[in-house]
Amino acid sequence: MIKALAAEFAGTFMLVTAVLGAALFSFPNAGILGVAFSIGFTVMAMLFAIGTISGGHYNPAVTLGLVAGRRFKPSSALPYIAAQCLGGIAAALIVYVIAMGRDAGFEAGNFASNTYGGPEGYSFYSVFLIEAVLTCALVFVVMGVTRKNAPPDFAPIAIGITLAAIHIMAIPVSNASVNPARSLATAVIALGQPLGQVWVFWVAPILGGIVGGLLGRWFHDE
């Protein structure tokens, strides 16, 4: 169990590092596609590298979705979620320290957090819906590509591509969470509005993940 929790910590650490590194340092040149490919490739690599140790969740919504789909023990869910949140927060703190070393100065602002509303933002309902639907799609894909008769070694590729596509769709609307640990990690640095709204980016992805797990189980009749 210790190795599994360490793998979840490391995988979520790299996921959040990929998001923040691309969003804060490369975004002016790489744009939305750069952030999307960064997270997609990173998660794909981590699944190939250490995914067999813990199952490669790296996301509380995926963990709870797999519980709903009867692919994961409920008793292990809380430790997994704790490891994921700690890994994400550790990554956010390290990226923040790196960003503060910029000679021209750095203002954290929203620190690439997930928010809704505001003069140029989308409404609560739009953000909630896209987060729930896309997390449902993510967990549905995970359920499908990890079933017993799925093609071997294909799952990391499918999951990485799905995450990249999700971020291309969701970044303009919610700055793309589909992962409560990712949202918490940035909110604890930004504070203010992101921290006050972080509950949405827990409830919507977890709800979507549970539906995705149930749908996946129904489709594959396990």
67-109 pLDDT, tens digit each: 999 999 999 999 999 999 999 999 999 999 998 887 666 676 7
**CB-based contacts of 97, cutoff 8 Å, min separation 6:** none
Average pLDDT over all residues of the chain: 93
Instruction: Determine the Cα–Cα distance for residues 151 and 5; give it in Å rounded to an integer.
Output: 26
Length of the chain measured in residues:
222
Contacts for 60-63: CB closer than 8 Å, 24+ residues apart: 60/84, 60/85, 60/179, 60/180, 60/181, 60/202, 60/205, 60/206, 61/135, 61/138, 61/139, 61/178, 61/179, 61/180, 61/205, 61/206, 61/208, 61/209, 62/138, 62/139, 62/142, 62/179, 62/209
Contacts of 135 (CB under 8 A, 6+ apart): 61, 65, 178, 179, 204, 205, 206, 207, 208, 209, 212
Q: Collapse the DSSP code of 62 into the 3-class scheme (helix H, G, I; strand E, B; otherwise coil) and give the result.
A: helix
Mean pLDDT, residues 148-175: 93
- Cβ pair 86, 9 in contact under 8 A: yes
* DSSP codes of every residue in 158-196: HHHHHHHHHHHHHHHHH---S-HHHHHHHHHHH-HHHHH
Confidence (pLDDT) at 157: 96
Q: Are 187 and 198 a contacting pair, CB within 8 Å?
A: yes
Would you give the end-to-end CA distance of the chain in angstroms?
A: 25
Q: What pLDDT digit, counting tens, does each position of 131-142 carry? A: 999 999 999 999
Instruction: Report the CATH architecture of 2-220.
Output: Up-down Bundle (1.20)
The more confident residue out of 153 and 137 is 137
Mean pLDDT of 211-215: 97
Statement: residue 152 has pLDDT above 90: no
Percentage of the residues of the chain whose pLDDT score is greater than 70: 97
Q: Find where tokens 């340092």 sit.
A: 25
Residue 200 near residue 124 (C-beta atoms within 8 A): yes
